[in-house]
Amino acid sequence: MAAPDGVRGLVAELDSAGDLPAEFHPAFLAAAREWFIPGRFWYQPGDGAEDTAVDRATDPDRWLSAVYADRPLVTQFDDGATAWPEIGHRPTSSASMPSVVAGMLRALEPQPGDAALEIGTGTGWNAALLAEIVGGSGHVTTVEIDPEVASQARANLRTAGYERVETIEGDAAAGLAGDRQFDRIIATAGVHLGQLPYSWVERTVPGGVIVAPMRADMATGPLVRFVVVEDGTARGHAVERLKVSFMDMRSHRVSSVDFGTMRWDDDSADRSWTDLAPWVPLLADDHRWPIAVALPGCRYDVWKASEDRPGVAWLVDPLSGSWASVVPEGERFRVRQVGPRRLWDAAEAAYRWWVERGEPPLSAWEWTITPDRQSVTLPPDSGR
């Protein structure tokens, strides 16, 4: 197949923005994105825009424009329970933003001849790009948990001429079957802190690379690049200048919290004061990350002020039933806390500890995966 004109425009756009390494130009030109996108999808035409349903049959120009925009395209809501054009509650499969795809491949550094494993097939486009990069002497395996998504991706890859890509239906979070070793493993679904399957490390050759978007209940990202060493340990750091937000692996999903049913001014709460404006630690990724590490399982929300109430910052731990609300009151902030965990006290302590360390960025944190333990820590000299 010849590369459609839209491909050249996308490659030129990504190249001019510095998002696409020169060595990946041939792969992006050869594996046209449109070959892998369904006739119907949802997307947001701009940051903060509402989800829009697009149909190739009725609006082919809009469809093609969206396909070659640097935007993610949602191809499934609610595990397939929501039918197009209805907007569902939870996006559950998508075609990732092209600049993010390029950035993740740059972090992965696949080479000709590599054996590569992708976890989360989606439309099959990323697997096709990998196949172009590793070439005929390499091999690409991709694993997808959703049967319908896997079947469609397999068909997309076959139609586009990538029959050599092995598409497997299965749950990679539960472990990887067989004993095949890989030089590169890339995950396109969010992996929770402490839950990266060790089988991924076991199946990576020493010196091999794993790239995975790691997250906590309070924070999406960062994208972490791990290198596996001889003793079976994977060590990694967040990739700088690349922010990602991926759907969770299905077994890592957490239930949502209905903050709207809670009373921020509950008289039964223990009350105290803080001089720290809660929006400072909660509304910036680097600032919130130490809190997310210190309070696993905790969720947060920030409400803008309205005619009926002041601005409110929330912390909630569904497991213990603890919660905290923080609101401005005069020149200080009123803290209300309920339950066995004093969430705001712990959050403020974690944030101030991070500030005392010199406010190190996400890339300063060190990730370690062993057979027995998973950790994310700051080395003693970080931020100094």
Helix, strand, coil % in the chain, rounded to nearest 5: 30, 30, 40
C-alpha to C-alpha distances, 41 to 54, 129, 290, 327, nearest whole angstrom: 6, 21, 36, 40
Q: In angstroms, rounded to a whole number, what is the distance separating the alpha carbons of residues 191 and 381?
A: 27
Structure tokens that stand for 36 in this block: 């892998």
Which residue, chain included where needed, has tokens 């929300």? 301
Alpha carbon distance 81, 101 (integer Å):
27
CA gap 127, 133 in Å, rounded = 10
Q: Which two tokens stand for residue 17?
A: 């923005």
Q: Could you confirm whether 306 is annotated as catalytic?
A: no
Backbone angles phi, psi at 188, to 5 degrees: -115, 30
Of 16, 65, 94, 268, which residue is the catalytic one?
Answer: 94
Write down the pTM of the prediction: 0.92
**pLDDT reported for residue 279:** 95
CB 173 within 8 A of CB 249: yes
pLDDT for 240 equals: 80
How confident is the prediction along the chain (384 residues), in pLDDT tens digits per residue?
556 778 999 999 999 999 999 999 999 999 999 999 999 999 998 888 889 999 999 999 999 999 999 999 999 999 899 999 999 988 889 999 999 999 999 999 999 999 999 999 999 999 999 999 999 999 999 999 999 999 999 999 999 999 999 999 999 888 787 789 999 999 998 899 899 999 999 999 999 999 999 988 888 768 999 999 999 999 999 998 777 777 777 666 677 788 888 999 999 999 999 999 999 999 998 899 999 999 988 999 999 999 888 999 999 999 899 999 999 999 999 999 999 999 999 999 999 999 999 999 988 999 999 999 999 999 887 765
Instruction: State yes or no: cis peptide before 85, omega within 30 of 0.
Output: yes
